[in-house]
Chain A
């Protein structure tokens, strides 16, 4: 089959430039380390990368949230521990105060100490997190949940809202412990002063009972303190459970993140071995094309017409 001379040269040139182009693109990819220089090189991969990035960033957010929640729970737990040990001391005082061996002066000192604890309890119950919101106020975290009136009674101004966050597994995690849960074992009622603030009333009543050497009164208040301690333990246990859930979830997230990172790298990163092999074979082809072209183009009949 006849091949026109200029067609022959055109074909060869085209092949040469094509090969040259491929070599150049391979070289660019080797230099950048990316499998695809542009999304249009491989749409499927580009889309997968979008999906993977979405998952990764969501995982990061969840991990941050879990960490922050955990540190809040740690703080809540330590407040409860302090309250717990305080209540224990109060109980000791109550036992001592019920004992006749102590004088009225001693009892007054004890009452003063107990009142001191009441102040401390108020401070602890109004604890704030690192960003300034009140820990035990339910959703009304902008203002102190426990407010002392002029006459010394303490009212709970917070609410009973249990805040939650959602995890991507569909799990729901409780965030806070309300004032009700802290002191009253948790209930959602409209009767705010009686239940949540009664811890303070108990301490006040105990102090009064000590001062007036009212043994029955002291006994009654000791029962109250017992149930307060029980509620505190219950709340602490709940926090412990939540921290466990967080730990498990954080571990799972970490594992998932590792595999996501691997997937992302598979899609985005260049396989150097394969690329370099391809480069050498293309360069070989290019060289061969160039050499043959220079040799064959010499063969023209006109060269022999002398």
Chain B
């Protein structure tokens, strides 16, 4: 009602409320997240009196909360941005302090190692200096391990930070969800309690500091919150419910993490957190810490491999070959794919170890059948392993896996290597005398040489010969006995026999009458077994591509096929057929006696030293086991033969049965009885002759193979090239490259230069026994190639010059291998950089991250400060403003109170007038 009293009382009440609001603002001056509240006074609806309107006073429309949605959003975004940079700055600072301080850095440790080595190079036999070098090496290894440990500690610490942040986020999300529930009671945001909205905003700001948020506000003020990478968001809070965030750390990869939402429910993987402190930590771990740990490992591994290679080609004070100077313990993890470790598997690495990570799934299908999936290249291979007793063995990717417990057939076993080189680096040498400062070999010049030359020996590490890389090697049959299909060729080798193989056997069974034969060459065109090629330039030219084009054909040690047994540099060889007691031939082929010739000519075969007579039966008759047995028994050799009937078997060894009668089929074979039956060829003998008797022809080698050899399956008739033959191949153990080559340090080589008329200067390499190993044209650039070394001269030698290369014993003052080690300081051995530069680059890279994130932090702090200021302009309490409002409302209140007094006086006047 628009009269004085009503207006007055409503006004006083109104201004009382306004004053309360002002005092609330003043009281909440320092409350966190408080938004200034303002009483909104609105004119009351006027009453209509005829044509006039009389005002009805004022009323309180509501308490407005000072709020700007866009400023709030700005504030949250800038808070996230600032919080992202802080962990980066903090942790990169710590990393730089760790890596860049003079006391802790790796670079001074390298300096010390190389400097002491340089001092030692002046006095290579000084024991105190050697002890110094060992302690410098130990110090270096210790620094690596130390740094690695510190990095792992940082990994743990930052991981813990992430976990605690995740639980903070969960707490805030939970609180926001319950705030949402309370907000549900109203449908309009303006009707919500300001304190509730303040709390909501406060929680949102705090949460924004931890992670970048995407906030959607409903009409009534409820919020939905999503987190994650832009474009790939996942909901964290949805109205009154929230999902929990957790961080998981994979065991096998350091400094990595998975963010998982709703772990015990739907278990969603987050694409990643983009901003906020959690995002900053994740970015530090992914972009800085993990690559750093990897680089440290690369540095350790490259350095150790180079140093070890140099050290292994040196000679210790005790005149022995140097071993490894440092060891790297490489960890292997074997599990069944779901992190359960599998026991009973031993893993050995090939020497030298490859700088590669392994991630293989190996499945056994019984017997020797394996399947291997390489997870890094996603390639599947079927491989053949071997069984020795109860132990399964498999060679794959430079590893030898030995399963001492049978794995489950069909179930994959995961094998992973952990190249944590920086963690496992250690000094392997403790005895100062075992430091290999000297060279292993020494060159002496003959006194008759035309002039005195300066020579230089350099070690050549063993590597695959590119000319014969594609030829199958007997090494893969090491410990096995396998059939192999070989195509005859007079010019292409069929197999290679690697140096260091303990023994081998290659046997084949051709057609009767075949003249296929095995020829043996060394890798230096030195003909060891077979018919001479000296008069066949076409054949030599056809064979040359497999040998270095400077190599000449040598046949000094060639044995004709008829030699039977011969030996080459300690390897005993036998060509023919050799078998122990009671062996029998396979079935005698049913050959018909032709009219005009013997089946086997006189003297073509020699049995245990006795030349066999001709083998001839009645014209047109078929050769039987009995014929052969009689022939052998009448020959006068010490071997006796008898005929036995044995069941027929197929190639797998299963007994054959006659399809008509159902009975097992049998055949007659010849059994030879002698402790050692040896068949070799006469001058005209050929493998077809042995095949006529059902016997295979083989090359048998026993004793260690001294150098790489090539086996040819040749046939004199050109038309026969390409005929496939089935051979049975067996090989013994192969000495690993880590062991010194057999007898290496006792080897001695001589080099003789000669120059036949009209030919370029050539040289010949002989071993200590005078065995000619190779004959080559001489080239100044390439020098003389020796097994494991190359020899260079400052000027060309003259024809007739002689040099000898022998083990460098008792050269206690020889520092030449040490000089090689010292040269590693300036060699680009890691990623085309020296070790010092690589380390410095690592520090610089982190320094760049630090600088950029510091600048970003400063910039985002400025933006954040601006946003805070803007908010405080809109929602902050200024005491002067409140004081002015206080005065204003107080005066208004007094005035309104005066209205009441006036209306009372009016009423009194009215009352007193009616008396």
User: B-contacting residues of A (Cβ < 8 Å)?
Assistant: 1-7, 38-40, 43-44, 46-47, 49-51, 53-54, 57-58, 60-62, 64-65, 68-69, 129, 131, 133, 137-143, 159-161, 163-166, 175-176, 186-191, 195, 300-302, 305
- Whether the pair B122, A165 counts as a contact (CB closer than 8 A) is yes
Known: A51-B840, A139-B814, A191-B447. A57 touches B115 (CB 8 A): yes
CA distance A190 to B804 in the complex (A): 9
Contacts A139-B814, A302-B883 aside, 8 further interface pairs with beta carbons under 8 A come to A39-B99, A58-B114, A133-B126, A137-B813, A159-B442, A166-B823, A175-B122, A186-B452
- Which listed segment binds A: B100-108, B239-247, B490-498, B582-590? B100-108
Q: Which residues of A contact B877 (CB under 8 A)?
A: 4-6
CB distance from B100 to the nearest CB of A (A): 3
Q: Which residues of B contact A51 (CB under 8 A)?
A: 836, 840
CA distance A3 to B125 in the complex (A): 80
- Whether the pair A38, B97 counts as a contact (CB closer than 8 A) is yes
Q: Which residues of B contact A138 (CB under 8 A)?
A: 811, 813
- Of the candidates A4, A65, A175, the one whose C-beta lies within 8 Å of that of B878 is A4
Known: A7-B868, A141-B125. A47 touches B844 (CB 8 A): yes
- Whether the pair B844, A139 counts as a contact (CB closer than 8 A) is no
CB distance from B154 to the nearest CB of A (A): 14
- Of the candidates A1, A49, A65, A166, the one whose C-beta lies within 8 Å of that of B873 is A1
CA distance A282 to B811 in the complex (A): 68
Q: Which residues of B contact A62 (CB under 8 A)?
A: 118
Q: Which residues of A contact B847 (CB under 8 A)?
A: 43-44, 46-47
- Whether the pair B100, A46 counts as a contact (CB closer than 8 A) is yes
Known: A5-B878, A46-B96, A50-B102. A160 touches B126 (CB 8 A): no
Q: How many residues of B contact A (CB 8 A)?
A: 73
- Of the candidates B114, B445, B810, B819, the one whose C-beta lies within 8 Å of that of A188 is B445
- Whether the pair B444, A39 counts as a contact (CB closer than 8 A) is no
Q: Which residues of A contact B848 (CB under 8 A)?
A: 43
CB distance from A140 to the nearest CB of B (A): 5
Offer 17 A-B interface pairs, CB within 8 angstroms, sorted by A.
Answer: A4-B878, A5-B876, A7-B868, A43-B843, A43-B844, A43-B846, A44-B844, A58-B111, A64-B119, A68-B122, A138-B813, A139-B811, A140-B811, A142-B810, A188-B445, A300-B880, A305-B886
Q: Which residues of A contact B30 (CB under 8 A)?
A: 6
CA distance A284 to B330 in the complex (A): 60
CB distance from B520 to the nearest CB of A (A): 34
- Of the candidates A5, A60, A129, the one whose C-beta lies within 8 Å of that of B879 is A5
Q: Which residues of B contact A159 (CB under 8 A)?
A: 442, 444, 811
- Of the candidates B112, B883, B886, the one whose C-beta lies within 8 Å of that of A57 is B112
- Whether the pair A301, B843 counts as a contact (CB closer than 8 A) is no
Known: A43-B96, A305-B887. A165 touches B121 (CB 8 A): yes
- Whether the pair B843, A49 counts as a contact (CB closer than 8 A) is no
> Is B869 engaged at the interface, CB distance under 8 Å to the other chain?
yes
CB distance from A104 to the nearest CB of B (A): 39
- Whether the pair A187, B125 counts as a contact (CB closer than 8 A) is no
> Is B446 engaged at the interface, CB distance under 8 Å to the other chain?
yes
Known: A50-B102, A62-B118, A190-B445. A165 touches B111 (CB 8 A): no
Q: Which residues of A contact B831 (CB under 8 A)?
A: none
CA distance A166 to B886 in the complex (A): 89
CA distance A57 to B136 in the complex (A): 14
Q: Which residues of B contact A188 (CB under 8 A)?
A: 444-445, 452
> Is B822 engaged at the interface, CB distance under 8 Å to the other chain?
yes
Closest to A64 in B: B119
User: A-contacting residues of B (Cβ < 8 Å)?
Assistant: 29-30, 92-94, 96-97, 99-102, 105, 107-108, 110-112, 114-116, 118-119, 121-126, 317, 438, 442, 444-447, 449, 452, 804, 808, 810-816, 819, 822-823, 836, 840, 843-844, 846-848, 850-851, 868-869, 872-873, 875-881, 883-884, 886-887
Known: A133-B812, A138-B813, A165-B815. A43 touches B840 (CB 8 A): no
Most buried by B among A133, A176, A190: A190
- Whether the pair A54, B851 counts as a contact (CB closer than 8 A) is no
Known: A4-B872, A175-B122. A49 touches B102 (CB 8 A): yes
- Whether the pair A61, B881 counts as a contact (CB closer than 8 A) is no
Q: Which residues of A contact B92 (CB under 8 A)?
A: 40
- Whether the pair A50, B118 counts as a contact (CB closer than 8 A) is no
CB distance from B568 to the nearest CB of A (A): 27
- Whether the pair B812, A139 counts as a contact (CB closer than 8 A) is yes
- Of the candidates A53, A131, A137, the one whose C-beta lies within 8 Å of that of B108 is A53
CB distance from A99 to the nearest CB of B (A): 37
CB distance from A196 to the nearest CB of B (A): 12
CB distance from A193 to the nearest CB of B (A): 11
- Of the candidates B851, B869, B883, the one whose C-beta lies within 8 Å of that of A305 is B883
CB distance from A279 to the nearest CB of B (A): 23
CA distance A141 to B438 in the complex (A): 12
Closest to B110 in A: A54
Closest to A188 in B: B445
Q: Which residues of A contact B851 (CB under 8 A)?
A: 43
CB distance from A124 to the nearest CB of B (A): 19
CB distance from B651 to the nearest CB of A (A): 60
6 nearest A-B residue pairs (beta carbon) = A4-B876, A43-B847, A141-B813, A39-B100, A142-B812, A301-B883
Closest to A137 in B: B813
CB distance from B179 to the nearest CB of A (A): 24
- Whether the pair A190, B444 counts as a contact (CB closer than 8 A) is yes
CA distance A176 to B813 in the complex (A): 10
Q: Which residues of A contact B872 (CB under 8 A)?
A: 3-4, 6-7
Q: Which residues of A contact B126 (CB under 8 A)?
A: 131, 133
Q: Which residues of B contact A131 (CB under 8 A)?
A: 123, 126
- Of the candidates A53, A140, A300, the one whose C-beta lies within 8 Å of that of B111 is A53
CA distance A161 to B456 in the complex (A): 11
CA distance A142 to B125 in the complex (A): 8
- Whether the pair A133, B125 counts as a contact (CB closer than 8 A) is yes
- Whether the pair B115, A58 counts as a contact (CB closer than 8 A) is yes
Closest to A143 in B: B810
- Whether the pair B813, A39 counts as a contact (CB closer than 8 A) is no
CA distance A189 to B447 in the complex (A): 5
- Whether the pair A161, B811 counts as a contact (CB closer than 8 A) is yes
Q: Which residues of B contact A141 (CB under 8 A)?
A: 125, 812-813
CA distance A64 to B122 in the complex (A): 10
Closest to B32 in A: A6
- Whether the pair A61, B813 counts as a contact (CB closer than 8 A) is no
Closest to A172 in B: B819
- Whether the pair A69, B96 counts as a contact (CB closer than 8 A) is no
CA distance A129 to B100 in the complex (A): 41
Q: Which residues of A contact B114 (CB under 8 A)?
A: 58
Closest to B451 in A: A187
CB distance from A176 to the nearest CB of B (A): 7
Q: Which residues of A contact B101 (CB under 8 A)?
A: 38-39, 46
CA distance A175 to B121 in the complex (A): 10
CA distance A190 to B119 in the complex (A): 31
- Of the candidates A38, A133, A300, the one whose C-beta lies within 8 Å of that of B883 is A300
Closest to A50 in B: B107
- Whether the pair B442, A301 counts as a contact (CB closer than 8 A) is no
Q: Which residues of B contact A164 (CB under 8 A)?
A: 815, 819
Known: A141-B125, A163-B815. A47 touches B840 (CB 8 A): yes
Known: A1-B873, A6-B29. A187 touches B105 (CB 8 A): no
Closest to A14 in B: B865
Known: A5-B879, A189-B446, A190-B445. A166 touches B813 (CB 8 A): no
- Of the candidates B96, B317, B819, the one whose C-beta lies within 8 Å of that of A40 is B96
Q: Which residues of B contact A165 (CB under 8 A)?
A: 118, 121-122, 815, 819
Closest to B26 in A: A302
Closest to A142 in B: B812
- Of the candidates A2, A64, A139, A187, the one whose C-beta lies within 8 Å of that of B876 is A2
Q: Which residues of A contact B121 (CB under 8 A)?
A: 65, 165-166
- Whether the pair A142, B813 counts as a contact (CB closer than 8 A) is yes
- Whether the pair B878, A2 counts as a contact (CB closer than 8 A) is yes
CA distance A166 to B813 in the complex (A): 16
Q: Which residues of A contact B843 (CB under 8 A)?
A: 43, 46-47, 50
